[in-house]
């Protein structure tokens, strides 16, 4: 693929135009309704952020390889940094830099298609950080630091960087965009419908935003969108777009819930504003820590059986 292939590809230009046009249409509708209901006003604030972030994402993913992958590594590191600040160990530089180093190594393994090295990385990372207490000649709080560092490396490194492994596949840029759009869309549908009609809250002590009604409706609308945008998939057959829609709608909620558990335990909501109306960066990447690896292995399995 030539360095500027995506810019010249009509499929990419059409997809970018549809995304920007859809955001503009929803923004106009919410702007007209923003004074009718506080939920509409909050939704409008969220959509406004997409006028900023969508063009950046579309620009970055159209860059020649490996820049889209470098961008994903940077997002993973920034997410880990935010996580360390949230849990209060950002000042423990040995653990922080060890985590950053391994996240870069995971990006390199994805780029070089070193699958075996990628798969054993969490165990190698655990071995590395187990040496830090010995090098520091200290045992104070070291179990806590090791556990939190391992959590950050697995969530925002190993798990999240499966999006990078998808990216390095044939037509992987389209696959990653497709999966990310579905994940963000399913979350928006789930949150909106939960606020309007949500009654059954199975995780009420963790997050009141996740309701059975919201998840069910997000599954339905995510499948519709997955079908409508199936042209972005390397294989447009039913198995692939149905699997993508279900993965985004179901497993995307798991990531949100896990981070909610951590935030509730710490007594905080957000660690800072990343993009106006969108919360911190963890609110953008938490869904992908389950969606990325789940769809990666489902995609490989479907390719194998077909």
Report yes or no: 282 and 259 within 8 Å, Cβ to Cβ.
yes
**pLDDT (0 to 100) of residue 191:** 83
**pLDDT (0 to 100) of residue 216:** 94
Q: Is the pLDDT of residue 28 over 70?
A: yes
**pLDDT (0 to 100) of residue 3:** 43
Q: At which residue do the structure tokens 């190594």 appear? A: 105
**Model confidence pLDDT, tens digit, residues 83-134:** 999 998 988 899 999 999 999 999 999 999 999 999 999 999 999 999 999 9
Which residues touch 271 (CB under 8 Å, ≥6 apart)? 82, 85, 86, 280, 282
User: How large a percentage of the chain has pLDDT more than 90?
Assistant: 53
Q: Is the pLDDT of residue 41 over 80?
A: no
Give me the mean pLDDT over the 289-297 stretch.
95
Distance, CA of 290 to CA of 72 (rounded, Å): 16
The region of weakest confidence among 9-13, 38-42, 74-78, 227-231 is 38-42
Q: Is the pLDDT of residue 175 over 50?
A: yes
Give me the mean pLDDT over the 36-44 stretch.
66
Domain ranges of the chain: 65-168
Q: What is the 3-state secondary structure (H, E, C) of the chain?
A: CCCCHHHHCHHHHHHHHHHHHHHHHHHHHHHHHCCCCHHHHHHHHHHHHHHHHHHHHHHHHCCCCCHHHHHHHHHHHHHHHHHHHHHCCCCCHHHHHHHHHHHHHHHHHHHHCCHHHHHHHHHHHHHHHHHHHHHHCCCCCHHHHHHHHHHHHHHHHHHCCHHHHHHCCCCHHHHHHHHHHHHHHHHHHHHHHHHHHCCCCCCCCCCCCCCHHHHHHHHHHHHHHHHHCHHHCCCCCHHHHHHHHHHHHHHHHHHHHHHHHHHHHHCCCCCCCCCCCCCCCHHHHCCHHHHHHHHHHHHHHHHHHC
The region of weakest confidence among 37-46, 206-215, 270-279 is 270-279
More confident residue, 195 or 252: 252
Q: Is the pLDDT of residue 271 over 80?
A: no
Listed residue (218, 287, 289, 285) closest to 78, CA to CA:
285
- Mean pLDDT, the chain, whole residue set: 87
pTM above 0.85, yes or no: yes
Q: Which of 23-37, 46-60, 126-140, 192-206 has the highest mean pLDDT?
A: 126-140
The region of weakest confidence among 4-8, 22-26, 100-104, 279-283 is 4-8
């Amino acid at each position: 693929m030539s360095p500027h292939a995506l810019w010249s590809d009509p499929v990419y230009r059409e997809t970018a135009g549809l995304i920007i046009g859809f955001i503009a249409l929803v923004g106009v509708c919410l702007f007209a309704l923003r004074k009718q209901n506080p939920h509409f006003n909050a939704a409008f604030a969220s959509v406004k952020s997409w006028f900023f972030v969508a063009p950046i994402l579309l620009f970055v993913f159209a860059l020649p390889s490996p820049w889209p992958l470098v961008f994903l590594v940077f997002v993973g590191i920034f997410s880990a940094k935010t996580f360390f600040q949230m849990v209060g160990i950002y000042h423990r530089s040995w653990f922080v830099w060890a985590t950053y180093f391994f996240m870069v190594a995971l990006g390199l393994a994805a780029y070089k298609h070193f699958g075996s090295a990628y798969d054993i990385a969490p165990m190698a990372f655990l071995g590395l950080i187990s040496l830090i207490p010995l090098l520091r000649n200290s045992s104070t709080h070291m179990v806590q630091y090791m556990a939190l560092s391992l959590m950050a490396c697995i969530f925002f490194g190993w798990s999240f960087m499966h999006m990078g492994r998808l990216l390095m596949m044939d037509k992987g840029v389209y696959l990653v965009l497709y999966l990310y759009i579905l994940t963000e869309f399913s979350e928006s549908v789930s949150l909106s419908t939960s606020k309007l009609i949500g009654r059954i809250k199975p995780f009420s002590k963790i997050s009141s935003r996740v309701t059975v009604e919201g998840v069910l409706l997000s599954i339905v609308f995510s499948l519709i969108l997955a079908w409508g945008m199936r042209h972005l998939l390397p294989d447009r057959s039913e198995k692939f777009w149905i699997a993508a829609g279900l993965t985004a709608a179901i497993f995307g909620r798991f990531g949100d819930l896990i981070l909610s558990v951590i935030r509730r335990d710490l007594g905080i909501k957000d660690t800072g504003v990343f993009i106006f109306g969108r919360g911190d960066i963890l609110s953008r990447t938490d869904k992908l820590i389950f969606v990325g690896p789940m769809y990666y292995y489902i995609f490989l399995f479907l390719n194998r059986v077909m």
